[in-house]
Amino acid sequence: MAAKHNDLVFSGVQPTGNLHLGNYLGAIVNFVKLQETHSCIYCVVDLHAITMPPSVWGGPEELARSTREVTAAFIAAGIDPKKNIIFNQSQVAGHAELTWVFNCVARIGWLNRMTQFKEKAGKDRENASVGLYDYPVLMASDILVYRATHVPVGEDQKQHLELTRDIAQKFNNDFAESIAARGYGEGFFPLPEPVITGPATRVMSLRDGTKKMSKSDASDYSRINLTDDADTIAQKVRKAKTDPEPLPSEEPGLAQRPEADNLVGIYAALAGKPKANVLAEFGGAQFSQFKSNLVDLAVTRLAPIAGEMKRLTQDPGYVDSVLIDGAARANVIASETMSAVKDIVGFIHKR
Ligand code: TRP
């Protein structure tokens, strides 16, 4: 009999650089929605952040600042830190501990296939950190140390989630006898599934509709930061690149018009309705008219979040207390899993 796993959501966001509209619409909005139906654990993955050189993540002050900013964004966007768990990864030792066990379960051949490592390591692979190579195993541990069943992730993380399932399955197989003998039931680890809620929103640069909105783009006009105030949001939307045609009234009309497609997609995601409905409303309109509607919508939805983030950032004591309280509650679950893993593997430990 496979063990019955209760539904539990886990996801992580890296504290590297400023959060923008892409992070919000692509991830955080779904996190907020999932708390209505699931128990959720949302983690600021600081251990993952340091897999790149300090020059990339900005050093200790910047790591701490960014960890608090992501936490503030979670809270400002509407995630309730009492009903759910919000914490930073490095506070719960189980993540790193389970990673070691999983390092001995995962195969080098599996990691060699990870496309994100190839992209992030670039040409000089010999010079990449061992941590960057092991990044996917740490991610598997994040999820499985809570035996989480559902993981909201973007398209780019699906391969890592498949690896997570492979590791869970191999652990369950390698230790099947021990798991059964100790009464943990078959399938000690669940095989977690990706969750895609609503239309997977890929937010593109406001200057080039073929490039993803990114924190590392040189132009600040390419993105809307979650901390931008109303005037800045309005300015960036008005300056966003468009083409000279009016808006089409149906979706096929957006093909080969990446900037138009992106702005309609942003409007749809912020309004919480399908792109088709947005086009039904604005088809035939000029961009100047559409943009002023988009400015109103973006300011209404985003400016309060920016305001709340600003308020929270000025109260680091409160933000830290959320992370410390969350870590204590996360640790209860993680310790239970680690105790079972130690039994299963044969490590002597205090019960
Ligand atoms: N790798 C994820 C990203 O870059 C972040 C992450 C770390 C994560 N651990 C996780 C996401 C566990 C989901 C579950 O987006």
List pLDDT tens digits, range 64-89.
999 999 999 999 999 999 999 999 99
Q: Is residue 350 part of a domain?
A: no
> Mean pLDDT, to the nearest integer, of 11-40?
95
Best residue for ligand 1 mutational test, from 28, 41, 48 (most atoms within 8 Å of Cβ): 48
- What was the pLDDT predicted at 72? 98
Distance CA 246, CA 321 (A): 50
CA 53 to ligand 1 centroid distance, Å:
18
Question: Does 212 qualify as catalytic in the annotation?
Answer: yes
Say if CB 84 and CB 41 are below 8 A apart. Answer: yes
Pocket flag, ligand 1, residue 12 (CB < 6 Å): yes
Indicate if 48 and 106 belong to the same structural domain. Answer: yes
Q: What is the CATH number of the domain that holds 258?
A: 1.10.240.10
- What was the pLDDT predicted at 172? 98
Indicate if 245 and 281 belong to the same structural domain. Answer: yes
Distance CA 125, CA 120 (A): 9
- What was the pLDDT predicted at 199? 57
pLDDT band at 221 (very low <50, low <70, confident <90, very high): very high
Say if CB 195 and CB 30 are below 8 A apart. Answer: yes
Q: Strand 9-13's sheet: what is its strand order?
A: 85-88, 40-44, 9-13, 150-152, 193-195
Indicate if 34 and 179 belong to the same structural domain. Answer: yes
Question: Does 120 qualify as catalytic in the annotation?
Answer: yes
Say if CB 99 and CB 47 are below 8 A apart. Answer: no
Distance CA 20, CA 36 (A): 24
What atom in ligand 1 is closest to the CA of residue 156? 15
Distance CA 329, CA 96 (A): 17
- What was the pLDDT predicted at 3? 62
Question: Residue 136's domain spans which residues?
Answer: 8-201+316-345
Say if CB 17 and CB 65 are below 8 A apart. Answer: no
Indicate if 162 and 290 belong to the same structural domain. Answer: no
Best residue for ligand 1 mutational test, from 9, 41, 45, 145 (most atoms within 8 Å of Cβ): 45
Question: Does 275 qualify as catalytic in the annotation?
Answer: no
Tell the residue number behind the tokens 């509607």, with chain if given.
293
51 Cβ contact list (under 8 Å, min separation 6): 129, 131, 132, 134, 135
> Mean pLDDT, to the nearest integer, of 263-288?
96
Kindly report which listed range (48-62, 168-182, 189-203, 224-238) carries the lowest average pLDDT score: 189-203
* % the chain with pLDDT above 70: 98
- What was the pLDDT predicted at 94? 98
Report how far Cα 186 is from the mean position of its chain's Cα atoms: 30
Q: Is residue 210 part of a domain?
A: no
Residue nearest to atom 3 of ligand 1 (CA): 13
Distance CA 339, CA 348 (A): 10
What atom in ligand 1 is closest to the CA of residue 14? 5
> Mean pLDDT, to the nearest integer, of 215-240?
96
Q: What is the CATH number of the domain that holds 21?
A: 3.40.50.620
Ordered alpha helix ranges (H), the chain: 21-23, 29-34, 46-49, 54-57, 60-77, 94-103, 108-112, 115-121, 130-144, 158-174, 176-181, 230-239, 258-271, 275-282, 287-313, 316-345
- What was the pLDDT predicted at 235? 97
CA 40 to ligand 1 centroid distance, Å:
14
Q: Is residue 233 part of a domain?
A: yes
- What was the pLDDT predicted at 186? 80
The pair of structure tokens assigned to 328 is: 């204590």
Distance CA 278, CA 254 (A): 12
Number of domains in the chain: 2
Check whether 263 has a pLDDT greater than 80. Answer: yes
CA 197 to ligand 1 centroid distance, Å:
17
Q: Tell me which of 33, 215, 241, 273 is the catalytic residue.
A: 215
Report how far Cα 80 is from the mean position of its chain's Cα atoms: 17
Indicate if 118 and 247 belong to the same structural domain. Answer: no
Check whether 175 has a pLDDT greater than 60. Answer: yes
Q: Is residue 214 part of a domain?
A: no
CA 196 to ligand 1 centroid distance, Å:
14
Pocket flag, ligand 1, residue 142 (CB < 6 Å): yes
Check whether 196 has a pLDDT greater than 90. Answer: no
Indicate if 89 and 184 belong to the same structural domain. Answer: yes
Indicate if 161 and 54 belong to the same structural domain. Answer: yes
Q: Is residue 215 part of a domain?
A: no
The pair of structure tokens assigned to 74 is: 């979670």
Q: Is residue 351 part of a domain?
A: no
Radius of gyration of the chain (CA): 22
Q: Is residue 333 part of a domain?
A: yes
8-state DSSP, 208? -
Indicate if 225 and 247 belong to the same structural domain. Answer: yes
Residue nearest to atom 8 of ligand 1 (CA): 12
pTM: 0.95
Listed residue (342, 351, 336, 317) closest to 92, CA to CA: 336
- Mean pLDDT for all residues in the chain: 95
Distance CA 221, CA 237 (A): 9
List, for residues 277-327, the tens digit of each pLDDT value. 999 999 999 999 999 999 999 999 999 999 999 999 999 999 999 999 999
Tell the residue number behind the tokens 């600040």, with chain if given.
220
Q: Is residue 188 part of a domain?
A: yes
Tell the residue number behind the tokens 């059964």, with chain if given.
180
Indicate if 117 and 17 belong to the same structural domain. Answer: yes
The CA dihedral of 42, 47, 51, 55, to the nearest 10 degrees, is: 100
Indicate if 119 and 194 belong to the same structural domain. Answer: yes
Indicate if 288 and 331 belong to the same structural domain. Answer: no
> Mean pLDDT, to the nearest integer, of 117-139?
96
pLDDT band at 197 (very low <50, low <70, confident <90, very high): low
Indicate if 136 and 285 belong to the same structural domain. Answer: no
From the number of C-beta atoms within 10 Å of its C-beta (0-12, 13-18, 19+), residue 349 rates as exposed
